[in-house]
Each structure stands twice: as C-alpha cells, then as structure tokens.
C-alpha cells in the first residue's frame, strides 16, 4: 500500500503531525505537474467569463498556496537544515510555475475581453475589482514582456526568491550563533527575576544541566525576550555594549554575510522595475498600494518628522541630564547601549512603576480570556479552545474556533505563542492557513471557513509558572490578533478578495494597530489582567501609570520608525553611487538624534524589506497607524464608557474594515466606516506630539 504524501492530503487542515522535510519535493513536483496540466486546459479555452477564467484561477492558486504555504510556514516555525535544503531545491520550480500563471497571455487576454464585455457589468462590485486586480497584477508581473526581456524578468523573479530565503536563514543562524554566558552573580545584577529564570533555562537547554536562576550560569541571547530586558536592566555597561554590538552586526560577516545579498537584491529590483517601465522599484511597489505615489508618502513622513524630531532631541537631552544627576560617568556621551538602560530608569522614576511589576498580572491564559472577551464585546464573536482537534507543529501550539451566535462556527486559528530561538524566527506575525471561499467549500457545506496562524515570540512558561507577559508582549498579541480578525471575520465569499487578500499593503496594518489601542482602555486592561498567584486584577493606580507612560519618549519611537521608512524609500527610489551602508549613514544624519555606529549593519538583519513584503513599503506602518488612530477616535467620540455606543461602533467597524477585505479599495472602506478621509490628528494626539514643532533641516 502506497501512503499518500501528507502535504497532498485533502484533509481540511494540514497534517502537521505527519509532514516531514522528505515530503516536500515529491509533493510539490506532483502538485506542480497537475496544476500545469490544469492551467494548460484553462488557457486552451480562456472563454471571457467568470466561470471559465476567475474560478479556475482561484482553484489553482489556492492548491498551490495551501501546499507551498504549509512548507513556508514550517520554515518559519520549525526550521531545520533538512527542510531548508528541500525548500531551496524546489523553490525555483514553484517560482517558475507562479510566474507562468501570472504571465499567462491567454488568461490575460480573456480577462481583458471579460472586462470589456456586457458580462462584466453583471458582476458584483467585488467580482469586478477582482478582475481589475488580476489584470493589474499580471501587468506588474511581466505579462506584457516578450522574448529576452521576459526571460530576464523571470530569472530575476527566481533569483530574488532564493536571495530572500538565504537572507532570512542567515538572520536566523546569526541570531542563534551568539550568546553571552554569564557566571558571575555581579554580571546579572539588576536583571529582573524573569530574565534570570529565562536565561538559566536557556543555559540548561545549551547543556548546563545545573543552571539555576539563583546561581547561574545565565545564557543571554539576541532573541527579543532575552535581548530587550537585558539592555534595559543590566548594570554592567560593558556587557550591554557587547550585546548591542553583536545585535547590530548580525549576519554581516563570514558565511552569513547578508551585505552582498542586499546589493544584489536592490540591483535586481531596479532592473525588474526598469523592465516594466518604472523609473524605480519604489514606483513599482506603490503601483499596488493605497498611497498614490512617492511624493504622497514623503509628505506624510515629513509631517510626522516635523512633529517628532524636536521631541526626540529633547528626550535625548533629558536622558543625559537624568543620567548625570544619577552620577553616571557616561552621561556626557550616552551611547546606544546606554539609552535603553537610562530610559528605563527614568521611566521607573517618573511613573513610579517597573515593567517587572506588571508581568504577574498578565499570565497568558488570562490575557487570552480578556482578549477574546473584547472580541465578543466589539464584534459579537465567541472564541473557544479546540486543542486536540487539529494537528499541530509543536506541543505548545493552541487551536481555537471562532463562532457567531446565529451562524455557528465562522473561522478558526492556531496560536504559537512562545519563543524557540533554535528553530523559530523572531518577531510576530499572522498568516493564513486557508481563506474563506464559497467556491472551495467542502462537500455539503456552503463555505470554506478561514483559518489563521497567529505567531508570537513571548516569554515561555518557566519553573512551573505560566507565561507571564510584559505589557509590550500584550500589545504585540493584540496587534497580531487584529490581523487575524481581518482574515477571519471577512464577509467576502470570493477567495481572491477575502480576508486580507488584495488589501493594499499600506492598509493591512490598520486592523492590527487599531487593536493595540484597546490596551490603553481601562475596562479592557483590567479585564485581561489577573495576578497569577492571587488572582487580583491590575490595580487602577497601575493602569493610570501605564496610560500616562504611553507618550513616554514618543518622539524617539516615532523618529526611529521614520528613519527606517526614509531609508527604505531611499534605497528603492534614489539609488546612487553610495553603498547601502553609506546611504544609511547619510539618511541617519537627518532622521536620527543619536547617529548609528560606523560598524552598524542593522540592514543585514532588516528582514522586513529584504525578506518580507515591505520593500519600498516600510512606511506602511506609519500610513496605517494614521488610519488606525483615526478609526479608534470613532470609539472615543462615541464614548468608551457608553457600552451601547461601543458595541454599535464595533459592529460598524466589523461590517466595513473587517468584513470587506480586498473587495473594495482601502480608502473607500475607511470612508465607509469613518465617514471621511483619514487625518493625522488622532495619531499625534495619542502620541502626545500634537503640538507642531519645527524640524531641523538638512
């Protein structure tokens, strides 16, 4: 008996309990051969109808996305050398098929005929938008190219995919290759108990079987749950410097050097844009985004820079004065490894609480309960655990079902909450396991329901305690859950526009950043807190301090994001003779108040723009933050203490922003909810930067 490849199993959910690296290549080759035959059949007919063109495209694309998507997902959460090799060997074949699909001239011509026909007028608005976007995407993927130009474009596509994979692998390997092994109790002086416990656990996992939080040794890594609190609390300045320098030089030398990859990626993107008739890759990128053009992005970034630069300068001066008053010898020349430490000391003094005081109030189970309660309050959905009902890729992964009172189950999601530096990439993200679709419904069901992956890198349970979250980790969980809500609560039945599909990239962060605002709402935060030992909710006094600290160093935090955004645009819109690190230094002169070190190579680990979807699009975080702050202002105007008004506004948000997905332009969707175009006023008010300031020129 021949066992079926689990990657090709037609089960509703992936068989993560059976999938191994050995399955990847045979599964994809078998699938690609079948899809190639199906594509040829569609091309032979190519009748200008929805049923003959768009529905087959949805079927073909979905089958590829589901299988290849599972492999990509495992690359991010259960990475191994065997999986990498299989992925890299088959990736060119997947890219080649994807390009063939996107560049199909018979399908493109059929779609054009459909758009010009009377049948197009009979389609609903979502269907019409799907046809228009399929035509646009085909044009942006080279359908109009011929001969040598098309061959070159397609080679570039394959090369860029391989380079992005290598870039990401280098960052993962470089991150886990470095660790500080501390054995002297004085070296961990000042570190919170949670970090000592985490670092002792890391030491045990690295072979130090006798490691304990009290006696060490303590293993400090570049993974966020270790790196961030160490930089904020370690009293040994020399150790902070060592860790910081290791962090900013990840993946910049030896076999893991991403520097040459960056230059190659940028060169290939420029060539790709030129082949399509664009003067820069930024223009190509913006052709499918909400922002009209590069000048429109520049105008927003400059407005926010004007509001934040002087504030950031003042915040750095304030930090120097505070460090001097505390007797710090480095006060006169604070370095990058000093800023997090002294910023945390000043925050503790000004707001009279320590971040470590908050952790006991945010055990993950209680935070989830509160988060799900908010979802029910705002959007009328119930979320219940369904652990054991779906295969998972790690024992820590949870599975949940989403239900609506009158409609039953409407979605589901996986939650992979904890950091695993050896196999899981850093950061947090949401991705789709499968999308909502009427066409692809299982037999006997009206719809295929959406399923999401929700991935975080929070502090894991340690020494019998539950996972205790920092407030920043609570915000991150809310952020990613916002993405998941947009994927799961869609009302669009066409798979090519449901959830976040076809939502402009610079609007994708709207729902996620909107959800973060609820972390500063009294009822919400009290409702998701419960001391893991006593059960007591977060004291209102602490909440008041948290909300007051929301604007702490807001200028510095905003300017940091603006620096990344300006640098991303410069690299993709104004390529010059400088190498990328010289460009970084030049952009930093105008957009930082503490210049990067000469050896800073953070670009070598900037996965967002070199291995993610944010190339010439990092500005999207600020663009969408304007949208999200303005959207939350609708709740403030309705009255956050008026329960009926909150529920009514939440219902309106669900029926527009969350429901419509990519079935309508993002600006149209926003106006449907808000009744007007977005404004920066709410964002500047929330960040305490509403007073106009004059930014230094040059």
pLDDT digits (tens, 9 = 90+) for 310-349: 999 999 999 999 999 999 999 999 999 999 999 999 999 9
Overall residue count recorded for the chain in this entry: 698
Average pLDDT in the chain: 96
- Decide the pairing of beta strands 451-458 and 179-182: unpaired
The verdict on whether 480 is a catalytic residue reads yes
- Do 218 and 240 meet the contact criterion of CB atoms below 8 Å apart? no
Nearest Cα to 80, choosing from 25, 20, 28?
A: 20
Q: Quick one: 533 and 404 in the same domain?
A: yes
Q: What is the CATH number of the domain that holds 371?
A: 1.10.1370.40
Pairing of strands 408-418, 179-182: unpaired
| Residue 32: CATH number of its domain | 1.20.1050
DSSP letter string, 185-210? GGGGTT--HHHHHHHHHHHHHTT-TT
| pLDDT at site 696 | 38
- DSSP alpha helix (H) spans, 103-251: 105-115, 118-122, 125-140, 147-177, 193-205, 224-233, 237-248
99 lies in the same domain as 195: no
CA dihedral of 632, 634, 635, 637, whole degrees rounded to 10: 130
User: Is the pLDDT at 355 greater than 80, yes or no?
Assistant: yes
Could you report the per-residue pLDDT of 504-516, keeping only the tens digit for each? 999 999 999 999 9
Burial code of 170-199, b = ≥16 C-beta within 10 A, e = fewer? bbbebbbeebbbbeeeebbeebbebbbbbb
Is pLDDT above 70 for 695?
Answer: no
Residue 585 domain flag: no
pLDDT in tens, 68-87: 999 999 999 999 999 999 99
- Domain span holding position 245: 179-250
More confident residue, 695 or 586: 586
Tens digit of each residue's pLDDT (9 = 90 or more) over 439-469 = 999 999 999 999 999 999 998 998 889 999 9
- Residue 680 CA to residue 678 CA, distance in Å, equals 7
The mean pLDDT of 634-646, rounded to a whole number, is 97
pLDDT higher than 90, residue 481:
yes
Q: Tell me, yes or no, whether 259 lies in a domain.
A: no
**With contact defined as beta carbons under 8 Å apart, do 82 and 76 qualify?**
no
Residue 162 lies in a domain: no
Please give the Cα distance from 27 to 3 (Å, whole number): 12
If asked whether residues 237 and 382 sit together in one domain, one would say no
Domain-located, residue 659: no
For residues 233 and 117, state if they share a domain: no
**pLDDT tens-place string over residues 501-554:** 999 999 999 999 999 999 999 999 999 999 999 999 999 999 999 999 999 999
The first and second tokens of residue 622, run together, are 């600020």
Same-domain pairing of 137 and 241: no
404 φ/ψ angles, rounded to the nearest 5 degrees: -120, 145
Would you place residue 691 in the very low, low, confident or very high pLDDT band (cuts 50, 70, 90)? low
Position 1 scores a pLDDT of 38
Do 133 and 187 belong together in one domain? no
Q: Answer with the one of 214, 229, 250 that is the final residue of a domain.
A: 250
Residue labelled with tokens 């929700």: 454
Residues 189, 65 share a domain: no
Domain count, the chain: 3
In a domain, 587, yes or no: no
Instruction: For residues 478 and 14, give the distance between their C-alpha atoms in angstroms, rounded to a whole number.
Output: 26
Tell me, yes or no, whether 119 and 235 share the same domain.
no
The predicted model gives 381-385 an average pLDDT of: 98
Question: Are 225 and 132 in a shared domain?
Answer: no
Long-range contacts of 196-199 (CB under 8 A, 24+ apart): 197/462, 197/463, 198/225, 198/226, 198/459, 198/460, 198/462, 199/226
Are residues 220 and 365 both part of a single domain?
no
Q: Of the residues 250, 281, 299, which one is the last residue of a structural domain?
A: 250
Residue 685 falls inside a structural domain: no
Check whether residue 414 and residue 497 sit in a common domain.
Answer: yes
Same domain, 104 and 227: no
Task: Give the integer Cα–Cα distance in Å for 430 and 451.
Answer: 11
pLDDT at 597: 97
Catalytic residue among 480, 509, 516, 584: 480
The predicted structure's pLDDT at residue 694: 41
Inter-axis angle of helices 580-591 and 554-573, nearest 10: 140
Report the 3 state secondary structure along 511-571: HHHHHHHHHHCHHHHHHCCCCCCCCCCCCHHHHHHHHHHHHCCHHHHHHHHHHHHHHHHHH
How many Cβ atoms sit within 10 Å of the Cβ of residue 680? 18
Q: Looking at the domain assignment, is residue 662 inside a domain?
A: no
Say yes or no to pLDDT of 693 above 50.
no
- The residue among 250, 269, 291 that closes a domain is 250
Give residue 576's pLDDT. 76
- Whether the per-residue pLDDT at 149 is higher than 90: the answer is yes
Mean pLDDT of 155-177: 97
Answer whether residue 634 is part of any domain. no
DSSP collapsed to 3 states, 460-475 = CCCCCCCCECCHHHHH
Handedness of CA 409, 413, 417, 420 (dihedral sign): positive
User: Does the pLDDT of residue 577 top 80, yes or no?
Assistant: no
């Amino acid at each position: 008996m021949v066992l079926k490849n689990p990657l090709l199993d037609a089960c509703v959910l992936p068989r993560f309990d059976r999938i191994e690296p050995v399955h990847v290549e045979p599964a994809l080759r078998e699938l690609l051969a079948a899809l190639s035959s199906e594509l040829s059949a569609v091309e032979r007919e190519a009748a200008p109808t929805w049923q003959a063109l768009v529905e087959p495209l949805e079927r073909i694309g979905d089958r590829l996305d589901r299988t290849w998507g599972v492999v990509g997902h495992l690359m991010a959460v259960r990475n191994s050398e065997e999986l990498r090799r299989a992925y890299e060997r088959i990736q060119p074949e997947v890219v080649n098929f994807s390009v063939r699909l996107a560049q199909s001239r018979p399908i493109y011509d059929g779609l054009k005929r459909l758009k010009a026909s009377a049948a197009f007028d009979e389609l609903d608005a979502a269907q019409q938008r799907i046809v228009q976007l399929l035509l646009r995407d085909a044009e942006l993927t080279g359908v109009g190219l011929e001969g040598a130009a098309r061959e070159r474009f397609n080679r570039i596509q394959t090369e860029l995919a391989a380079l992005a994979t290598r870039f990401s692998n280098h960052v993962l390997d470089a991150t886990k290759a470095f660790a500080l092994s501390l054995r002297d109790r004085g070296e961990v002086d000042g570190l919170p108990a949670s970090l000592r416990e985490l670092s002792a656990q890391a030491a045990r996992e690295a072979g130090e079987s006798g490691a304990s939080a009290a006696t060490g040794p303590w293993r400090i890594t570049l993974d966020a749950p270790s790196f961030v609190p160490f930089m904020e609390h370690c009293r040994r300045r020399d150790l902070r410097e060592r860790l910081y320098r290791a962090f900013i030089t990840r993946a910049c030398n030896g076999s893991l050097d991403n520097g040459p990859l960056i230059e190659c990626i940028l060169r290939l993107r420029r060539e790709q844009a030129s082949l399509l008739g664009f003067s820069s890759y930024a223009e190509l990128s913006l052709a499918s985004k909400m922002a009209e053009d590069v000048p429109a992005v520049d105008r927003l970034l400059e407005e926010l820079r004007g509001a934040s630069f002087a504030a950031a300068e003042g915040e750095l001066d304030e930090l120097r004065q505070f460090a001097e008053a505390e007797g710090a010898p480095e006060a006169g020349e604070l370095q990058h490894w000093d800023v997090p430490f002294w910023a945390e000391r000043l925050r503790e003094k000004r707001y009279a609480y320590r971040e470590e005081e908050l952790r006991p109030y945010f055990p993950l189970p209680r935070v989830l309960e509160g988060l799900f309660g908010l979802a029910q309050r705002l959007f009328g959905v119930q979320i219940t655990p369904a652990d054991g009902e779906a295969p998972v890729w790690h024992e820590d992964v949870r599975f949940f079902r989403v239900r609506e009172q009158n409609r039953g189950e409407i979605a589901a999601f996986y939650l992979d909450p904890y950091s695993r530096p050896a196999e899981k990439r850093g950061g947090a993200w949401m991705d789709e396991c499968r999308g909502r679709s009427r066409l692809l419904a299982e037999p006997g069901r009206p719809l295929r329901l959406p399923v999401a992956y929700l991935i975080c890198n929070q502090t894991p349970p340690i020494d019998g305690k539950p996972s205790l979250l920092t407030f920043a980790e609570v915000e991150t969980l809310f952020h990613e859950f916002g993405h998941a809500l947009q994927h799961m609560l869609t009302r669009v039945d066409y798979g090519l526009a449901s959830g976040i599909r076809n939502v402009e990239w610079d609007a994708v962060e709207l729902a996620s950043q909107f959800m973060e605002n609820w972390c500063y709402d009294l009822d919400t935060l009290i409702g998701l807190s419960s001391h893991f030992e006593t059960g007591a909710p977060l004291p209102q006094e602490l909440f008041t301090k948290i909300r007051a600290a929301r604007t702490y160093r807001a200028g510095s935090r905003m300017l940091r994001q603006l620096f990344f955004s300006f640098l991303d645009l410069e690299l993709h819109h104004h390529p010059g003779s400088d190498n990328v690190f010289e460009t970084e230094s030049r952009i930093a002169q105008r957009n930082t108040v503490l210049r990067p070190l000469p050896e800073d190579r953070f670009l070598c680990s900037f996965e967002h723009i070199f291995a993610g979807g944010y190339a010439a699009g990092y500005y999207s975080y600020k663009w969408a933050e304007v949208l999200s702050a303005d959207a939350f202002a609708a709740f403030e105007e309705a009255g956050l203490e008026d329960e009926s008004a909150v529920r009514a506004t939440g219902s309106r948000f669900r029926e527009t922003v969350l429901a419509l997905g990519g079935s309508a332009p993002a600006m149209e969707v926003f106006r449907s909810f808000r009744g007007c175009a977005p404004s920066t006023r709410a964002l500047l008010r929330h960040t305490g930067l509403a007073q106009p300031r004059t930014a230094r020129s040059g």
